[in-house]
Amino acid sequence: MQHAMRSNPIFIAMKIFNYNTANAFAQPTVQGWLVVFVCGFLTVCIIGPVLCIAVWLLVKILRLLPIFSLPALDVTVTSAAGVIFQVAAVFGTLLATVMVLELARRKRQEARTPGRHPVIGDFECSPFYKTWHAKPVLPSGKPVRLSAYGSGPTPLQTALWQKFIANYDALLAAATHSLLTEPFPLQECEAVTLTPSGITLTPDGRLHMGFEFASVPENFWKSEADEPYPTASFTSALELKSTEWLKPYG
């Protein structure tokens, strides 16, 4: 087992460049590019000769059969090795370049810019997705995930949020009443409690709210993958537009 690992191209490349596997491929670097290049290069250099030998043996066998008439191939070991090295170099270069581009893209996706708003509080902006996220506290005393488009809370988004907070109890009661009006997936439970878990402010000024729920009995669902997701949608005037129990994905 240890011998197989030590003959692995990735293990060899890590040893050559003394690369720390704990931080490997965490971000695009020249050293990371070289490691992946060597991995791709060595992989082709290992597989290439095996394929060449397999093709050579196949040609030898086919020539022994009278139904096949194959032309003579004047291929030397040196020329075959040259082709393998060229293919290995191209494959390693492409593999390493794709890896660096993917890591750069992932790093841009994960980048977050912190900010502070006098009403919303602390938030983080994702420049890649052009969205911002915060965890303000609701009048109930519980934090909620708040998301919206832009580099930070705009005056319109702030005004909508303030209006939502001012009418929180009435809006929550309307959404809860609509979601718990039969028929709904949990109507067989003895009791159901809905708690806001995520709120999204849309570009057109609407507000969407997702809920977590607690039910009696608690083990009403076989697994979390079967649990529906209750949501409510409000207009820009914060009138309840619709509610829905979304089905699990898949």
pLDDT at 69: 66
Last residue of a domain, one of 110, 132, 155: 110
Last residue of a domain, one of 110, 130, 145: 110
Instruction: Choose the weakest-confidence range: 8-22, 59-73, 147-161.
Output: 8-22
**Residue 30 amino acid letter:** V
* 129/65 same-domain check: no
* 181/95 same-domain check: no
* 125/219 same-domain check: yes
User: Mind listing the pLDDT tens digit for each residue in 74-121?
Assistant: 667 788 888 889 999 999 999 988 988 888 888 888 889 999 999 999
- Structural domain count of the chain: 2
Last residue of a domain, one of 64, 91, 110: 110
* 121/74 same-domain check: no
The length of the chain, given as a count of residues: 250
Instruction: Choose the weakest-confidence range: 13-22, 37-46, 72-81, 108-117.
Output: 13-22
User: Mind listing the pLDDT tens digit for each residue in 175-233?
Assistant: 999 999 989 888 888 889 999 999 999 999 999 999 999 888 876 666 666 788 999 99
Domain that holds residue 91: 2-110
Rg (CA), the chain: 30
Cis peptide before 217 (omega within 30 of 0): yes
* 67/55 same-domain check: yes
* 169/212 same-domain check: yes
